[in-house]
Amino acid sequence: MSKKKNNSPEDGIFDSPARGDFSGGDQIISTEYSELMQKAYIDYAMSVIVSRALPDVRDGLKPVQRRTLYDMYELGIRSDRPYRKSARIVGDTMGKYHPHGDSSIYDSLVVMAQEFKKGLPLVDGHGNFGNIEGDGAAAMRYTEARLQKITEEAFLADLDKDVADFGPNFDETEKEPLVLPVRIPNFLINGSEGIAVGMATSTPPHNLAEVIDAELALLDDPDISTEKLMRLIPGPDFPTGGIIINKDDLPQIYETGQGKIRIRGKVETEKGRSGHINLVITEIPYTMVGAGIGKFLSDVAALAENKVTNDVIDITNQSSKEGIRIVIELRKDTDVENFKNLLYKKTRLEDTFGVNMLGILDGRPETLGLRGILEASADFQYEIAGRKYRTLLEKEQKKREIQEGLIQACNVIDLIIEILRGSRDRAMAKRCLVSGDTTGIRFRSDFSREMAAQLNFTEVQADAILDMRLYRLIGLEIEALMKEHEETVANIYRYEDILENRNAMTKVIRAELLSIKKKYGIPRRTQIIQGREAVFLAPDLNADRELVFVMDRFGYAKTMEPSLFSRNEAAVRETARFCFPCRSNGKICLFTKEGRLYTLRTADLPAGKMRDKGVPVDNVSNFDTTKEEILFAASQEALRLEKLVFVTESGMVKSVPGTEFDVSKKTVNATKLAEGDQLLFVSELKDALFIVLQSAGGFFLRYSVEEIPEQKKTAQGLRGIKLAAGDSVENVWLLSQGEKPVIETHGKEIDISKLKLSRRDGKGVRRF
């Protein structure tokens, strides 16, 4: 066989002695590295999205959960059998179905057994499976598990009736279900959380009884609206209880599948010792499960240590297996409502649950609303029922064929016995029963031979007759066979009706759902109300005092006590983008490149220590870091005493009195911009005498700040420098008396204080 030689790189195939002798037609394929990386990354991303991180909308399970449950089913670890070691389950699952390490499998098994994380636990755990306070489960060699009864009935039932598609496992030595035949909308009931590549899912858990009611309503009325469905599912039902306080936002969330749910813990008041007041937290937000409880306790202690409140005497965590109980002992004269509000604002007692109901549907990720999820589940129920009853129908039809053959055989049993006695082997007797072939068979009479020649049993019937035992000829046995045949015929009529009549199939699905609801439905745990838009603290609870505002380059902000800041000033300024004094009852102003002003209340920011990260400013204002960039920040109190200088990329300049920005709205326009223009520079004027503008083309212009026009925030300003076509302002400096900054640009050092003093709207001098 000749070997093709291509020496041109454009051909994509090289053959050179320097590369060795490639026999058997081996070729080196030349390809663009970026294209190869792109394809490889897309393949990896889709593998993570579809095969690991996101649940299937039909059964609400991720692959690792599905494989773990199926493996327990295969091992026979049922609810009525003894527990088995978790290590046995994990090892078997990893060896057969999920070759991604034992920790991911065991973590999945643990979560499916934790009642405080799953509204409907699917695994019955025995041993230390962790607790709500964040303590992890014991090692898998110490714990045991088995399936919950509902998992057997609603997740794994009828797998022997061809209700699920099976595919090869990772090494093609086993078969595994591609989706479990789940009878309930588990995607909603248990919810899910997962981070894939470029996308994430976060679906809150819901009440089983409510979800089933909504599914039944959808079966009755396929065109039902989301509004009507929400009369049955008013909102999520978290296993930790709590109170959802933004009821009015839920319709939009359930319509789009995305949004934010605000949830609070449940707080009660009790009489404490010596007349003190005990504030008792009996339910926590779902987002506090785990380490969040410890963080809450430390946050409350920090409020007392930092003198934010003087009302706290003691805080104890008295939680147990019976439930959450966190007791905060308060002074006798404490304003309880204001203290609650302080907890809501400064701790995670009120938190946000981000909703993004993303799942795999028809092999691709899709974000679905409430109705879309229920529709997908309903379609899946019809598919399961159709496959189940087609399998049952085939079995009953085969059974009827055998029964009819046996009944017919009983009517001519003497002839059949004569055929059996006259045949040399089974094959000869079977040919006679199936086709009436009497060749080689000895009969007592010609009449018997003629009767035998008329026999026409099917192959299946003939085998059943030949295998029939003599006791079946007893009269009672024949009567039982006749009765069994009647039941089989009735089943066939029923199954055919279910498969041919959608209403009949709907009745079957309804009956299964109602049965599950009756056996496993529980009352709602999470209360839903429409609370206040924001919580305002009473002025006397948090007296106005001086703080230091700190924001890093990632947009995380916090406040610090002045004494703490002064001890760590060098380290704080090293990592901070903005750092300045503010008032605890004041506001912070954020100016963006797009010319907008965002204000946020200082009270909304957490009081942080040196290493505390703070909160994203997005969470406490209307600002969105994904769409805009902060150019300048200052306290509203400081701006009242100053003027601000604005410079745009096109060279427009102006000064604006700081009182212009003493606004109550959270978002206003800080300046007017021409189309395509952006703010480049915003700063307090303070004691500056000169302004220096540098263009990208290398022109520098220095002139007195007195030439900067003072205008309103709604004005565009006047031209500060004449720019050539395509040029733009790149840097701006404000110079005070005696200030002589030297800058380095394009390999040159320039003392900008020695630049020629010019007038506004000049071209400037070129320095590079």
**Residues carrying an active site annotation:** 142
Secondary structure of 198-231 as H, E, C letters: CCEEEECCCCHHHHHHHHHHHHHCCCCCHHHHCC
CB-count burial class (<10 Å; 0-12, 13-18, 19+) for 231: exposed
Pairing of strands 243-244, 527-528: parallel
Helical axes 370-411 vs 502-520, angle rounded to 10°: 110
Q: Which helix (H) or strand (E) holds 413?
A: helix 413-422
Q: Are 381 and 212 in contact (CB under 8 A)?
A: no
Q: Which helix (H) or strand (E) holds 166?
A: strand 166-168
Q: How many CB atoms lie within 10 A of CB 482?
A: 13
Alpha-carbon span 617 to 554, nearest angstrom: 10
Q: Are 419 and 450 in contact (CB under 8 A)?
A: no
Whether the CA torsion 525, 531, 534, 535 is positive or negative: it is negative
> What is the three-class DSSP state of 364?
strand
Torsion, Cα 84 85 89 91, to 10 degrees, reads -150
Give the CA distances from residue 505 to residues 58, 179, 498, 502, 578, in Å, rounded to whole numbers and listed in that order: 18, 21, 5, 5, 65
The tally of CA atoms less than 13 A away on the side-chain side of residue 575 is 15
Q: Are 347 and 337 in contact (CB under 8 A)?
A: no
Spatial neighbors of 740 by CB under 8 A, at least 6 apart, are: 751, 753, 754
Tell me the helix, strand and coil percentages in the chain, rounded to 5: 40, 25, 40
CB-count burial class (<10 Å; 0-12, 13-18, 19+) for 41: exposed
Q: For the stretch 450-463, what's the b/e string if a residue is b when 16 or more beta carbons lie within 10 angstroms of its beta carbon?
A: ebbeebebeeebbb
Q: Which two tokens stand for residue 345?
A: 């604002």
Whether the CA torsion 356, 111, 54, 210 is positive or negative: it is negative
Q: Which helix (H) or strand (E) holds 445?
A: none
Q: Are 123 and 129 in contact (CB under 8 A)?
A: no
> What is the three-class DSSP state of 737?
coil
Q: Which two tokens stand for residue 592?
A: 């963006």
| Residues facing 15 on adjacent strands | none
Alpha-carbon span 357 to 372, nearest angstrom: 10
Q: For the stretch 733-768, what's the b/e string if a residue is b when 16 or more beta carbons lie within 10 angstroms of its beta carbon?
A: bbbeeeeeeeeeeeeeebebbebeebebebebeeee
